[in-house]
Amino acid sequence: MEIELKLFMMFKKYGPPEQVDGRSRMQVEPGTRFIDILNKISMPIKEDKIIVINGISHKQCDEVNALEIKNGDIVAIFPPIAGG
């Protein structure tokens, strides 16, 4: 299966060498969960992040970590955003 991974700002450092501006294609096995992707790219699980899967925003939690990623999914990871 293939997904599109988009990493933003400081998270680009976790992307594969072939990424272009934080975007890359990633091969994953059927049954891959979101947490498996984090492990595959060596991104700390406890680091705060905003997760967007196919345009739906999530805050990282056990439920989101367990989400099964499907072929063609677009997974974007952003650092937390603060404003005021």
- Parse the chain into domains and list their residue ranges: 2-78
* Rg of the chain on CA atoms, in Å: 12
Q: Using CB atoms within 10 Å of the CB of residue 13, give its burial: 0 to 12 exposed, 13 to 18 middle, 19+ buried.
A: exposed
When pLDDT is averaged across residues 19-39 and rounded to a whole number, the result is 95
Convert the pLDDT of each residue in 34-77 to its tens digit: 999 999 999 998 888 999 999 999 988 899 999 999 999 999 99
pLDDT at position 50 is 92
Architecture of 2-78 per CATH?
Roll (3.10)
Question: Which stretch of DSSP H or E encloses residue 33?
Answer: none
Distance between CA atoms of 77 and 51, rounded to whole angstroms? 5
54: left (phi over 0), alpha (psi -120 to 50) or beta: left
Rounded to two decimals, what is the model's pTM? 0.89
